[in-house]
Structure 1
Amino acid sequence: MPDPETLKFYADNAAQYVQHASRPAPQLVDFMARLPPGASVLELGTGNGRDAAAMLAAGFAVTPSDASPELAAEARARLGCPVRIMAFHELDDSEAYYGVWANACLLHAPRAELTGDLSLIHRALRPGGLLTASFKAGQGEGRDQFGRYYNYPDRATLQGHLLAAAQWASLDISESDGSGYDNRPTRWLWASARKAAP
């Protein structure tokens, strides 16, 4: 279940929040390059719709989603297409997408629920499908100065959740330095996992 305090932050600050981060992460280019042309993609945590816009412009069939109705409304206005209002645990698709893009959103999943959420994502992927997700690295659960909840995994913990969730054909976790809405230096973990093909 989504953290109520985190959802309240996005509800209260949606219009301001969507103004930050105008440029997609470099990892999005790699994600798109590893998918078939025009592939179906589920974006979790679309936020301001920035990454969905880039994928749509590249010709992908994108289903943007967000747990925050307020952020979904902002993204819908930007994209001109429906945005699915959905928390991670509500994902009920089966073998529907070639890709799942989850940039800076699963980091809000309660740590006790992360393995289950990743299992649902695995089920939603078509055989051979690709998940890319990013997390703020850390040593355990906590909140930022805005009151938002984070699961803050280290590399080993994140790998453990992914391996417990499903059997992946390949799994890679890389690290990069960057920032976020808080403008603080942040160590990011990027997980890329491929579902086995038949």
Structure 2
Amino acid sequence: MTDKRTINAYTTRVADYLQIPLPPEQIEARLAFAEAVGSGHVLDLGSGPGSDSAFFMREGLTVRALDATPAFVEHARENGVDAHLGTFDDVTEVDAYEGVYASFSLLHAPRADFPRHMAAIHRALKPEGIFFLGLKLGTGEHRDDLDRYYTYYSQTEIEAELEQAGFTVDRITTGMGTGLAGSYDGFILVLAHA
């Protein structure tokens, strides 16, 4: 994710971002991901300020966090997270992780880049590695009220993209929640494996 306007929107709202309550479905899905991985190395892709990374560390996982917003990386590092500045294109590892966690991050990637990112994540996972994907449901690509770039998908599109990249979907949860911009949006949480 290299969209400067999106990065700027997050840079000025780190404290606000940390105050957003997670919907129950997301709390449950995060725990399900940690349990499915069990032990080993995970990549928190688009890690934000590192809240999920810190949770996984408490669950005994070794976490590498990657985010394109310097202020988020700095906050995560200050809280003991192995956080790195980078974009989705910096996922170049092969067979490196037991799990990849992409919670509402890949929705900032242009639709045309999504298959490339899915393929890179699949390569980065060890065989049978666990992949969590959280996205907003909808259609099209546009900016929200905070000037963040979003790509929206239907459940059918997400399932097709995952299958094309070689993933097997284990479970799907949908729900509604309020994000940083204050809008009440539908979301989808997918747990899959390579």
TM-score by length of 1: 0.89
In structure 2, C-alpha distance between the alignment counterparts of 1:33 and 1:133, rounded to whole Å: 16
Matched residue type, 1:120 = A
Q: Cα RMSD between the aligned structures?
A: 1.8
In structure 1, C-alpha distance between the alignment counterparts of 2:81 and 2:132, rounded to whole Å: 23
In structure 1, C-alpha distance between the alignment counterparts of 2:182 and 2:118, rounded to whole Å: 28
CA contact (8 A) 2:162 2:168 kept: no
In structure 2, C-alpha distance between the alignment counterparts of 1:13 and 1:97, rounded to whole Å: 30
CA contact (8 A) 1:3 1:110 kept: no
4+ aligned runs moved over 4 Å, structure 1: none
Aligned to 2:172: 173
Aligned to 2:90: 90
SS in 2 for 1:84: strand
In structure 1, C-alpha distance between the alignment counterparts of 2:82 and 2:62, rounded to whole Å: 12
Residue range with higher mean Cα deviation, 175-184 or 57-66: 175-184
SS in 2 for 1:147: coil
Offset, 1:21: 3.4
Listed as ranges, the gaps of 5+ residues in structure 2 are: none
**Residue deviations 1:141-185, cap 9 Å, x none?**
111100101111111122222223x22244543311222112322
Match for residue 33 of structure 1 among 15, 32, 35: 35
Offset, 1:109: 1.0
Offset, 1:12: 3.0
**Residue deviations 1:42-90, cap 9 Å, x none?**
1011112111111101111111111111211111112x24311110012
Matched residue type, 2:152 = Y
Matched residue type, 2:62 = A
**Cα distance change of structure 1 residues 85 and 57 upon mapping to structure 2, 3 Å threshold:** same
TM-score by length of 2: 0.91
1:111 equivalenced with 2:111 (yes/no): yes
Matched residue type, 2:8 = K
Offset, 1:32: 1.0
How many residue pairs match? The answer is 192
Listed as ranges, the gaps of 5+ residues in structure 1 are: none
